[in-house]
Amino acid sequence: MADQFDVVVVGGGPGGYVAAIRAAQLKMKVALVEREHLGGICLNWGCIPTKALLRASEINHLLHSLDAYGFAADNVRFDFKKVVQRSRGVAGQLSGGVKHLLKKNKVTVYDGHGKLAGPGKLSVTKDGKPVAEIAAKHIILATGARARVLPGLEPDGQTIWSYREAMVPDALPKSIIVMGSGAIGSEFASFYLNMGAKVTLVEVMDRILPVEDAEISAFVQKSFQKQGMQVLTGARLQGVRKEGGGITAIIEAGGKVQEIKADKLISAVGIVGNVENLGLEGTKVKVDRTHIEIDAYGRTGEPGVYAIGDIAGPPWLAHKASHEGVICVEAIAGLHPHAMDALNIPGCTYCRPQVASVGLTEAKAKEAGHEVRVGRFPFIGNGKAIAMGEPEGLVKTVFDAKTGELLGAHMVGPEVTEMIQGYVVARTLESTEAELMHTVFPHPTISESMHESVLDAYGRVIHI
């Protein structure tokens, strides 16, 4: 006889486990099916452990910049295996925390692979053997995504790495090629560069971080190059050769073909949704380019089947998945939640310098027909940034010239990933330049640059 639940969630990542907990809070009987790691890719192999690695690389950078602060140290060195071990320990600690939260909220967890087995039914298997049959009126698919693999760039665990191999190397490579300059590629490029490797970042588009505002992308590229990174844009990979324990990439850029040799190559060229073997055949669930089509509340074309997170399409962000899970569950419960506005979802990249943004870029705002007012404030005009020894940064704000609506905010520099939430709140509350101008920002803080950027858009900037 099938185990009976109100809601069953397939996938225990940041979308799935949050949806399960919210459903439990709403007094539903909930099950969660996870085949590998509670916390999902983000917690175990993405967002969290990469931040631990990046923190280590920031410390390494500071230790080699002590003279600027009046310090000196001899024989500065690191144990790369311990750096990696610490990141794995952080991931393990948080995965255990998710297990505790699910138990605390009385969510039944099944270890296995979930697959639709008819209306309101789900089968769970582990290593090909049956684990359970589950019946539930509502089934939420939150199976996430995996790295896209390009022909000729199949990860082999030796010279060609996916993000997984790049997070747990046995030793620091002397040189590395990173294919793809989105958030994942740029973060790995920054990490390895700051740990001392020679890094080449390759991007097929005409600029790195192509989803960001063009001005911010240019700022980051210039900073990367200043740090010693080779950056190739408008570049196409024509092939690779594995030789001598390393790899050679044949790349065409700027009308020229060049061969770049390195110890390792990281492929970071996007993701594809995990839609296989979910039992979608014969259902009304529609899949478009490996992503499930949903409405504003996670509903698919099949009654009682929902999808959230990376499997439901962009933006592929953990916080988007979590919020999507809450909206989906609250809609199931009849609470009439607000649909999510994708333009109010912040994006963060934790390279050095950090990048954070929300809303429309200047170009997208103009394409949408807005007459815009744009403000900018460089960190070189901010007292706290100078005192910290971090004057490299910029805040850019984009407003509708007629209504004063904050259309977008774009930031680059130290700790901007922590500060962007101020603009996210402003957009969620539908603030205009008037409210932002009348907001008192504490002094001295880097966040004052956010205020000054708003003032600059209206000709009232003070400190530059």
Residue 365 buriedness (CB in 10 A; 0-12 / 13-18 / 19+): buried
Contact between 373 and 379 under an 8 Å Cβ cutoff? The reply is no
Query: Which residues lie below 8 Å from residue 445, measured CB to CB, with a gap of 6+?
Result: 384
Token code pair at residue 54: 């990046």
Phi, psi dihedral angles at 187 (to 5 degrees): -70, -45
Is 46 annotated to bind a ligand? Reply is no
Is 51 annotated to bind a ligand? Reply is yes
Residue 60 CA from chain centroid, whole number: 23
Query: Which residues lie below 8 Å from residue 92, measured CB to CB, with a gap of 6+?
Result: none
**Whole-angstrom distance, CA of residue 276 vs CA of residue 121:** 17
**Whole-angstrom distance, CA of residue 207 vs CA of residue 232:** 9
**Whole-angstrom distance, CA of residue 406 vs CA of residue 428:** 10
Residue 69 buriedness (CB in 10 A; 0-12 / 13-18 / 19+): exposed
**Whole-angstrom distance, CA of residue 19 vs CA of residue 312:** 14
Is 418 annotated to bind a ligand? Reply is no
Is 246 annotated to bind a ligand? Reply is no
Token code pair at residue 175: 């040189």
Is 180 annotated to bind a ligand? Reply is yes
Is residue 443 part of the annotated active site? The answer reads yes
- DSSP letter, residue 71: -
Q: Which one of the listed residues 410, 443, 451, 463 is annotated catalytic?
A: 443
Is 152 annotated to bind a ligand? Reply is no
Buried b (16+ CB within 10 A) or exposed e, 168-194: ebeebbebbbbbbbbbbbbbbbbbbbb
Is 310 annotated to bind a ligand? Reply is yes
Is 182 annotated to bind a ligand? Reply is yes
Please state, in angstroms and as integers, the Cα–Cα distance from residue 415 to each residue in 55, 148, 250, 360, following that order. Answer: 12, 30, 36, 21
- For residue 444, whether the previous peptide bond is cis, meaning omega lies within 30 degrees of 0, is yes
Residue 232 buriedness (CB in 10 A; 0-12 / 13-18 / 19+): buried
- Whats the size of the chain, residue-wise? 464
Is 87 annotated to bind a ligand? Reply is no
Query: C-alpha angle 73/75/81, rounded to 5°?
Result: 115
Catalytic residues: 443
> Which residues fall in the annotated binding site for NAD(+)?
180-187, 203, 270
Annotated binding-site residues for FAD read 51, 114, 310
